[in-house]
Amino acid sequence: MSPLRSLADRRTSRTDPGTAPQHPAPARPRSRPRAWADDLVMGMRFAAGGGREGWIRTALTAIAVALGVAVLLIGASVPTLMDAWHGREKARENLGQRHEPPRGDTTVLYASSDTVFHGQAIRGRLVRPDGAHPPVPPGMSQLPGPGRMLVSPALKKLLDSPDGALLRERLDYRVTGIIGDAGLSGPAELTYVAGSATLHEPSGYRIDHFGKAWDPPPMRPPAVLLVIMTCVALLTPVMVFIGTSVRVGNEQRERRLAALRLVGSDVATTRRIASGESLFGSLLGLAAGALLFLGLRQLAALITLWDINVFPADISPGPLPATLIAVLVPAASVLVTLFAQRGVTVEPLGVVRNRPAVRRRLWWRVLLPVLGAALLLPLAREQQWTDSPFNTVRLAVGSMLLLFGVTALLPWLVDTVVSRLHGGPVPWQLAVRRLQLSSGSATRAVTGITVAVAGAIAIHMLFTGMQAGYTEAYAQSSKERPDLAYWGHTDSWRQTEQALAALRATPGVKSARGALTANIGQVPVPGHPADDTGYMTIAVGNCAELRKLAALPSCGSGDVFLTDQRDKDVIRPGATIDLNPRLIEDDPPEPHPWQIPHNTRPTHLLSPGVGPNHYSFDLLATPSALDIGRLNSSDMELTVDYDRNLPDAIEHIRNTTAHIAPALYESSTVDNPHDQQLSSVRNGLFAGAVVTLLLIGAGLIITTVEQLHERRRMLSSLHAFGTRRASLGWSILWQTAVPVTLGLALALGCGLTLGALLLSIIDNGVTVDWPVVAGMAGIGAGVILFVTALSLPPLWRMMRPDGLRTE
């Protein structure tokens, strides 16, 4: 056994004070787990009763761990919240099924009546029960009757507000109840279910249950990137902050550990005791992090991203990730403590720092970002992002290696640069010499800034690129499509005409055009498979409407025109075509043959492909040329040109179309909801980056004050022989500014590289948000001033003559 028994050994050998033994009782050897537990508990006691410095260290460790735990819990909740969101969507939906059940007591006609109001999507569903026992979706006890509706709390609030006046005209059903949480995808969702007395097939689907057999689509690449990058960019500075905080009050702790060595603790025991001190802060942080997570998830109710808004209760990590976080985070803080003590030997008479001066090697530091880039480059070269576990891991590991590469490169860069700095005024010399002697602690704190800024720049680039992509896509589709187009089922030209008249009478409408359209096909030959490529489209309208589609030499009732969109061999005057083609594979309908009149004349379309559904018309016909009722799934297609300068013109148009047919689909390039959503997320990210940088600034202050504290005697002597306060103040500024500036330069390079790679991965053009880059650099500069300013009062204090007193 070692001659230096551990303190706990001594404790166990303590005798009962009531007895007076002649010789001390022999020490009972402790089992290893017991020794570990005892020492850790003793360290925790020191942390709890270690005075002001101990409590500051504990509090800072707890704050850092709490932030880390909260970020990890949120990250670990993403898969479950997406599952929950998809689950809610799946449970309440049943649109688009291929085989409708026969009409009966338990069936209901069901249709989408989605709309948009002031840029906000509103999910609408119309129901018309066939019998007395229709299925009821989650969140409601019964279906609303005709002219009534159940609404989500958010929609109720909107309808009741002055802003909702126009919407009330559109949704003029009587509100008879509120949809419960089970029927909503998120608390901010705007949705309603209305009873309709006029809904009919095929506008409505017949269903006998809610709950769609539907596999959720994989998360979109930007969402995957966002989650991974946010976790990496936030966690790294937090880890750095933990590393800084466990070093607070080192001097006092080392004195205490030396005292413990003096009374017999061995080196391993002192390390375990130090670990116990960190563990205490870490456990407090774990609890605080869990509380912070619970608080933060309440905010999720206010956020809508990619039209996804979730309930706080749905944000919950699975048991395995939660357990891993609960175990690994405290363990990580203990490891950081042990890592901080490497090269330091606590001896009974003090601390011996026996770490030799290590020359920082470049090769392995460069290797990390190179490996990261090597993992990301193939993803960037792929045509399209494929959501697979392998790619996700490649992306996460590649991004982390790039970011961590920065942390590895920074100490080398700082060392290399400061070793070349000479001369200059006294404050500069003091700062540079300090960094030359020991740049470790300053660099350690700055690595946090570097990773945070690099991550923030990369994420911002990702968002800026995505936003630019959406804006470009909307601008492009605005050129290709009219501003507003509607389509929905109709089986009469008269209804289409009435719709056009109503639209033309709507305030703000400059013009409206429309047609009744349908698919037609070749007549199937019995015993032969149908030719799926043989579909054609026909547009039916009066001559005035047809003239808006094609150049007609003359037009009269009963006329038919053949456009130049098709091969003349397939469709020609005199040929017989099928007005009721097979549109669904398993559902061969009865053919409705129709002969194209012999007097059909050729024409060419004015703007081929202008229809909102992008179909070109093969045939144009006036209503009396054919029996419209024989067409399969005929739709009215309405296109509106309106006065953009008139406030709410579009909302008036939507009100009109809602009254023409609530189930009309709108194709619009007016609202770009992504723009607003992305802007708000970018603002949030910027704020997050600022908070992270301030956190790191706090870490830097701790490091600086700690250093000042250790040097207070020297500072007092400098003051004694007349050194100006300003000189020392400037030296602190330079001491912070040099590593921070180098860190920011590195962050800029790394952030731009990573951002460019991420944008390439999602096939977006590389766009740099220079104001954000400048903002980040500005915040970095602000951190320097912030740290310096807050370090000055302790500096003045340390310069007092008290430090010179030795008695």
Question: What is the token pair recorded at 202?
Answer: 């095929």
CA 311 and chain centroid, separation: 15
Where do runs of H (alpha helix) occur along 631-711?
A: 649-660, 673-710
Exactly one of 498, 717, 775, 797 binds other proteins (CB under 8 A); which one?
A: 717
Q: What minimum distance in Å lies between the beta carbon of 426 and other proteins?
A: 5
Q: What minimum distance in Å lies between the beta carbon of 735 and other proteins?
A: 10
Q: Does 795 bind other proteins (CB under 8 A)?
A: no
Q: What's the number of CA atoms in the CB half-sphere (13 Å) around residue 30? A: 18
d(CA 387, CA 79): 14
Looking at the Cβ atoms of 437 and 606, the one nearer to other proteins is: 437
Stretch in the footprint of other proteins (CB under 8 A) among 58-66, 284-292, 360-368, 435-443: 435-443
Q: Does 30 bind other proteins (CB under 8 A)?
A: no
d(CA 126, CA 655): 16
Q: Does 363 bind other proteins (CB under 8 A)?
A: no
Q: What are phi and psi of 55, to 5 degrees?
A: -70, -35
Stretch in the footprint of other proteins (CB under 8 A) among 613-621, 713-721, 745-753, 764-772: 713-721
d(CA 519, CA 582): 10
Q: Does 441 bind other proteins (CB under 8 A)?
A: no
- How many residues bind other proteins, per CB under 8 A? 27
Question: What is the token pair recorded at 65?
Answer: 């761990």
Q: Does 259 bind other proteins (CB under 8 A)?
A: no
Q: What minimum distance in Å lies between the beta carbon of 421 and other proteins?
A: 13
Q: What minimum distance in Å lies between the beta carbon of 432 and other proteins?
A: 9
Looking at the Cβ atoms of 345 and 616, the one nearer to other proteins is: 345
Looking at the Cβ atoms of 426 and 687, the one nearer to other proteins is: 426
Q: What minimum distance in Å lies between the beta carbon of 438 and other proteins?
A: 8
Q: Comparing C-alpha atoms, which of 119, 67, 123 is closest to residue 650?
A: 119
Q: What minimum distance in Å lies between the beta carbon of 312 and other proteins?
A: 52
Give the length of the chain: 807
Q: What minimum distance in Å lies between the beta carbon of 719 and other proteins?
A: 7
Q: Does 345 bind other proteins (CB under 8 A)?
A: no
Residue 151 CA: distances (Å) to CA of 125, 170, 181, 207, 211? 10, 14, 11, 21, 19
Looking at the Cβ atoms of 498 and 717, the one nearer to other proteins is: 717
Q: Comparing C-alpha atoms, which of 455, 316, 311, 320 is closest to residue 396?
A: 455
Q: Comparing C-alpha atoms, which of 155, 467, 416, 452 is closest to residue 305?
A: 467
Q: Does 711 bind other proteins (CB under 8 A)?
A: yes
Q: What minimum distance in Å lies between the beta carbon of 119 and other proteins?
A: 60
Q: Does 804 bind other proteins (CB under 8 A)?
A: yes
Q: Does 419 bind other proteins (CB under 8 A)?
A: no
Q: Does 206 bind other proteins (CB under 8 A)?
A: no
Write down the residue that tokens 């740099």 correspond to: 768
3-state secondary structure 424-437: CCHHHHHHHHHHHH
Stretch in the footprint of other proteins (CB under 8 A) among 124-132, 285-293, 711-719, 738-746: 711-719
d(CA 371, CA 792): 42
Looking at the Cβ atoms of 347 and 531, the one nearer to other proteins is: 347
| Strand bridging mode 108-112 / 120-129 | antiparallel
Looking at the Cβ atoms of 422 and 568, the one nearer to other proteins is: 422
d(CA 289, CA 329): 11
**547 touches 599 (CB < 8 A):** no
Looking at the Cβ atoms of 678 and 718, the one nearer to other proteins is: 718
Write down the residue that tokens 């007609």 correspond to: 552
Q: Does 97 bind other proteins (CB under 8 A)?
A: no
Question: What is the token pair recorded at 11?
Answer: 């404790």
Q: Does 22 bind other proteins (CB under 8 A)?
A: no
Stretch in the footprint of other proteins (CB under 8 A) among 230-238, 556-564, 607-615, 722-730: 722-730
Q: Does 436 bind other proteins (CB under 8 A)?
A: yes
Q: Does 740 bind other proteins (CB under 8 A)?
A: no
Contacts of 744 (CB under 8 A, 6+ apart): 449, 450, 453, 776, 777, 780
Question: What is the token pair recorded at 760?
Answer: 């390439």
Residue type, 469: G
Q: Does 356 bind other proteins (CB under 8 A)?
A: no
Q: Does 426 bind other proteins (CB under 8 A)?
A: yes
Interacting residues with other proteins (CB under 8 A)? 423, 426, 429-430, 433-434, 436-438, 711, 713-714, 716-724, 727, 801, 804-807
